[in-house]
Amino acid sequence: MQPNLRPITRETTDVSSAPGDSNADLHRHQESVPLPHGNRADVRKLSFWYGKTQALKEVNLPVVDRKVTALIGPSGCGKSTLLRCFNRMHDLYPGNRYDGEIRLYPEDENLVAIDPGLVRLRIGMVFQKPNPFPKSIYANVAAGLEVRGIKKRSVLDERVERALRHAALWDEVKDRLNGSAYGLSGGQQQRLCIARALAPEPEMILFDEPTSALDPLATAKIEDLVQQLAGEVTILIVTHNMQQASRISDFTAFMLMGEMVEYGNTDQVFTAPEDPRTDQYITGRFG
């Protein structure tokens, strides 16, 4: 079921340049990077334990580059646990344990074996509820850049504007960048969080039920944004809303009780899933 995509051309930021150098920081070039099967990442036999409780059981999952992969499944199935493995959030709590690999390409590094700080510099995350910092709109978006050592104002200005434009928020906030992020609506705050995640130009963005706290219009804007972003960044999204998964994702993975039951093209999973458990879940014959 793993899609066999041809090697792609990836646009990268030249990270060898000095931070703060606008020309260098903004120097982007086309680099031909062959990715195995077009995957940005591969989860291989990943198991995870919260203390003594096993939450993931030898999970396998390809994450196709610059596509949207949705993780679906009932509460407690392990989808958010899997998502949080990608940016090593579990490392923040004692007693948690990984076994297996998440290979990140093209470097072919095991995400769960390298410095979590480095992982988080490369993989952004957007949470269920908008969580802007108690700062200005500008400062929220610039925060991730400053952590990476980018201080030069002209560079920050350009990157902040670019991220806000990518997050489809620029036109709504360009005249009040120094205003509090808390003055924005819920949907705007969530798009601000997406801009904050986009600003450092991550290789992958993780979305953990990003619209569950939003109204239908704000939800539609986020869904549209996710689809727009997919051409530029690899997206992994956890959602309880199966219509949302079917609308915006290219690939869907169904999890149950810590196991990966089925992975495939979204149209195939939602019209003719291979596993009867997937059919039972997505048709609402579960439990």
> Footprint of other proteins on this chain (CB under 8 A)?
242-243, 246, 270-273, 278-280, 282-287
- Which CB, 73 or 130, lies closer to other proteins? 73
| Least gap, CB of 184 to other proteins (angstroms) | 31
| Minimum CB distance to other proteins, residue 270 (Å) | 5
Q: Residue 164: how many CA atoms within 13 Å on its side-chain side?
A: 24
* Percentages of the chain per state (helix, strand, coil), in multiples of 5: 40, 30, 35
Q: Which of 174, 100, 166 is nearest to 138 (CA)?
A: 174
Rounded to 10°, the helix 153-166/137-147 angle is 110
96 or 278: CB nearest other proteins? 278
What's the rounded Cα separation, in Å, for the pair 204 and 126?
A: 11
Q: How do beta strands 204-208 and 234-238 pair?
A: parallel
Q: Which is nearer to other proteins, 94 or 287 (CB)?
A: 287
CB of 269 to other proteins, least distance (A): 8
Other Cβ atoms closer than 10 A to 119 = 22
Task: Give whichever of 54 and 241 is closer to other proteins, judged by the CB atom.
Answer: 241
